[in-house]
Structure 1
């Protein structure tokens, strides 16, 4: 068993590695090294925590760690990049549920300590955690109760919210916003009842208050995320990431684990900052995001006139051969078709012909922040031609050809032209300002969010129907 000095030193080292990991993830070229910082930091944290003072039960802990590692490895190898958003949501749910279980267990141990003190002060067969509690003063035990309440509430909201987000991202739950009759009043009522239960618990009520508190928080998490539309799921994922971090921090306070507090705070704060950045990118109010009050329209959407005009590979190739500047806008459809390699091949041919080729990345393209950047990096697309929306949005008006691959909401002019659109006010890529726009799309459907896109009906737009990878592979031989 390791001494407390070793554990404290390891906690500092792991915290530094986590900070380096977060800092490196802001740059695509440093991201791989940053991920390794995180992996090493977590390995250090788990090892030195598991073998620190007062820790036992290795006969159960070690097999569980091995089983968890095997399951995690198999899942990571099987999950495609298209499924990464729902995997992240599922992992958030585990953190939330763990917080609930730890908080429940902590309170049961607290009650054992208080019962022993009330009897004769003799404590036998106590866990290491209960032995730690036995040395705490009454006011410290009261503070523990506050930690328990926060851990249960945040953890339960994170759990059911993440489960619903997983269902929506995986297509198992309808992506449209759904709420029970009463809407936000139900959430507010559940929150008020949760507060009353917390007050009762802090004033000596039984364990039943924590069970009811968890039940209400489970409902709030479910109802909040059910009320958010599919177009806003990327923000929801980052928001739940923040919740899971704060749930982990609450566990850290309960267990007196400094490393868990630091790690949870890092995840919680970085997730909150990312949510705020994405809200700005989507012109959403941050408070409304937290309350689940967005994702729906305010009235009937504007009627769309015209028709979608199709074009074949020959027509697209001819336009590309005549163009001098090309911008490619990738979306979730590229991920579904696994077309990133074909896109990379097309870019190499166009650049070899002396054409200016760049990518325009919307902050919420795909279903996870950075989704498109990861796919393009995987396909060896040069980092310097992958530009964010603010860097390239003014260049569409002087661009010859734009190719949109599986995007819908992020190139939808209704965001600027229709105040009743579910995405009204959201900054979008102004692809319609280019001379010609080709949209690679499977069919005439509205896509994941269910929002109609007037771009598809504009005079300078043509629909390049078919699977994105197959369409691009058919196009490649015709490009000079």
Structure 2
């Protein structure tokens, strides 16, 4: 056994270790970038080892490989160049849809591995075939479901598609996919006029179910849906790793699948809803009709709001998707540093499902250079609102909606929220008087201690910065 054989044999173990270590690094904002780089090196290592294994085969063995090496190299180059370019140029507002798209590609890759394995008729072992079919089913659901999530987040599909009896229809589609999967397993290795018919119908039904499962889900639930499909992709990759007898795929897939599942459960818990409720409840179907004015909104100029915060002792800032849309995170941090220079204690409060994807607001603030010790999770800061002079809400809605605590008829009743309404003074930077992404009206905007600052967040914060400059320092 030569050195190359040792490298190939250890490649799966080394890559798996790098994946796990990298994923652990992603658990903290401080080490997240390093974790991503480490996991990336793990992927690069296993890819190189795979090609090395192929190139060390004899010409006769290479001729019987089930892949076209030229196309594989071309796909790797095109995918790497495109993904690298998109990763560097994507706007922060488009980050959630890019994550959904890339996640869908992972699920699609797992489904493609399943399709190749089934088409080749390599085995008739029921367990092996069952795992192959299950991985294909989950990968297909992740692919089309993630594509629908991308369309919703990108504004290409603005409203959920719902119709009477939809859940029963979806169940029938799912049962059909399972039945076709069973027929695919049972007919493997048997003589038939068209041996691939059931396999083709199985993949079509699986892809269709992923679409049917996602189109009725409202945009407000997309962060949970993206996390769920990330778990699906990891599970599908792990199952297809078993099919290919590849330890790296098995370990990496299971780690990603379990981490994604845990994140999905935690996010659903943060909304006080079950995963089944997120997927099947048609959340928001009637909330938009029920929404309406609950009083009169008071408004103030940005300069007056800035002056109030300059003379406050403490300020808690709650960022939302509106901050990302306006690309105002840099201007916000400039404003924060000026407040700190005047002796104001400033903190950031992050809700687990703020934004359009898990950790969206953390990424947004990190891009602006906000120190990690200024950023607090909901459970760590919620009790502080009662003693805070000013809460500044920027482009957030549902995560600060007090209806979740007080209105049993509200669709979001019971969801843990940031207690911004308990601050002595609340300023809300908002472009207009409309409802949030879920379509639920927010009574916070009509409370006596709340004042609206209408306008684009970038423009409003710019005026606030200018107002502080005019006031000078203490």
**Superposition TM-score, scaled by structure 2 size:** 0.90
Higher mean displacement: 79-88 or 373-382: 373-382
- Listed one character per residue, the Cα deviations across residues 279-315 of structure 1 (whole Å, up to 9, x for unaligned) are 11111113434x4435236777475421122110222
Distance in 1 between the 2:212 and 2:226 partners?
Answer: 15
Which position in structure 2 is the counterpart of 1:78? Answer: 89
Return closer, same or farther for 1:457/1:316 CA change in 2, 3 Å cut-off.
same
How many residues in Structure 1 have an aligned counterpart in Structure 2?
451
Which position in structure 2 is the counterpart of 1:167? Answer: 151
Q: How does 1:180-259 map to 2 (within 5 A)?
A: 180-204=163-187, 206-259=195-248
Distance in 2 between the 1:181 and 1:152 partners?
Answer: 29
Which position in structure 1 is the counterpart of 2:103? Answer: 92
Which position in structure 1 is the counterpart of 2:283? Answer: 295
Distance in 1 between the 2:5 and 2:30 partners?
Answer: 37
1:460 maps onto 2:471 in alignment: no
* Secondary structure of the corresponding residue to residue 29 of structure 1: coil
Q: Check whether the contact 2:20–2:252 (CA below 8 A) recurs between aligned residues.
A: no
- Listed one character per residue, the Cα deviations across residues 387-407 of structure 1 (whole Å, up to 9, x for unaligned) are 000011111111111111110
* Secondary structure of the corresponding residue to residue 326 of structure 1: strand
Which position in structure 2 is the counterpart of 1:269? Answer: 258
* Secondary structure of the corresponding residue to residue 367 of structure 1: coil
Higher mean displacement: 314-323 or 260-269: 314-323
Which position in structure 1 is the counterpart of 2:192? Answer: none
* Secondary structure of the corresponding residue to residue 155 of structure 2: coil
- Listed one character per residue, the Cα deviations across residues 227-256 of structure 1 (whole Å, up to 9, x for unaligned) are 211111111110110011112112212222
Q: How does 1:138-157 map to 2 (within 5 A)?
A: 138=124, 141-157=125-141
- Listed one character per residue, the Cα deviations across residues 154-189 of structure 1 (whole Å, up to 9, x for unaligned) are 1111111101100111111124x4323312111221
Distance in 2 between the 1:397 and 1:207 partners?
Answer: 65
Distance in 1 between the 2:433 and 2:82 partners?
Answer: 39
The match for 1:68 among 61, 69, 79 is: 79
Higher mean displacement: 235-244 or 317-326: 317-326
Distance in 2 between the 1:321 and 1:420 partners?
Answer: 39
The match for 2:317 among 328, 343, 347 is: 328
* Secondary structure of the corresponding residue to residue 404 of structure 1: strand
Distance in 2 between the 1:186 and 1:4 partners?
Answer: 52
Kindly state the Cα deviation for residue 92 of structure 1 after the two structures are TM-superposed. 1.6
* Secondary structure of the corresponding residue to residue 31 of structure 2: helix
Kindly state the Cα deviation for residue 95 of structure 1 after the two structures are TM-superposed. 1.8
Distance in 2 between the 1:293 and 1:213 partners?
Answer: 27
Distance in 2 between the 1:195 and 1:338 partners?
Answer: 45
Higher mean displacement: 416-425 or 304-313: 416-425
Distance in 2 between the 1:62 and 1:232 partners?
Answer: 38
- Listed one character per residue, the Cα deviations across residues 68-94 of structure 1 (whole Å, up to 9, x for unaligned) are 111112211221111111001111221
- Listed one character per residue, the Cα deviations across residues 1-20 of structure 1 (whole Å, up to 9, x for unaligned) are 98443223121111111111
* Secondary structure of the corresponding residue to residue 228 of structure 2: helix
The match for 1:278 among 223, 248, 267 is: 267
Which position in structure 2 is the counterpart of 1:118? Answer: none
List runs of 5+ in structure 1 lacking aligned partners. Answer: 111-132
1:474 maps onto 2:466 in alignment: no
Return closer, same or farther for 1:2/1:151 CA change in 2, 3 Å cut-off.
farther
Distance in 2 between the 1:235 and 1:435 partners?
Answer: 32
Higher mean displacement: 179-188 or 234-243: 179-188
* Secondary structure of the corresponding residue to residue 53 of structure 2: coil
Return closer, same or farther for 1:4/1:228 CA change in 2, 3 Å cut-off.
farther
Q: Check whether the contact 1:2–1:48 (CA below 8 A) recurs between aligned residues.
A: no
Question: In angstroms, what is the RMSD of aligned CA positions?
Answer: 2.0
Distance in 2 between the 1:2 and 1:164 partners?
Answer: 47
Which position in structure 2 is the counterpart of 1:58? Answer: 69
Distance in 2 between the 1:69 and 1:336 partners?
Answer: 28
Return closer, same or farther for 1:454/1:284 CA change in 2, 3 Å cut-off.
same
Kindly state the Cα deviation for residue 149 of structure 1 after the two structures are TM-superposed. 1.2
The match for 2:308 among 313, 319, 335 is: 319
* Secondary structure of the corresponding residue to residue 390 of structure 1: helix
Q: Check whether the contact 1:330–1:360 (CA below 8 A) recurs between aligned residues.
A: yes
Q: Check whether the contact 1:149–1:210 (CA below 8 A) recurs between aligned residues.
A: no
Which position in structure 2 is the counterpart of 1:121? Answer: none
Q: Check whether the contact 1:413–1:455 (CA below 8 A) recurs between aligned residues.
A: yes
Distance in 2 between the 1:97 and 1:179 partners?
Answer: 26
Distance in 1 between the 2:407 and 2:98 partners?
Answer: 34
Which position in structure 1 is the counterpart of 2:41? Answer: 40
**Superposition TM-score, scaled by structure 1 size:** 0.89
Distance in 2 between the 1:472 and 1:463 partners?
Answer: 13
Distance in 2 between the 1:74 and 1:345 partners?
Answer: 29
Return closer, same or farther for 1:69/1:44 CA change in 2, 3 Å cut-off.
same
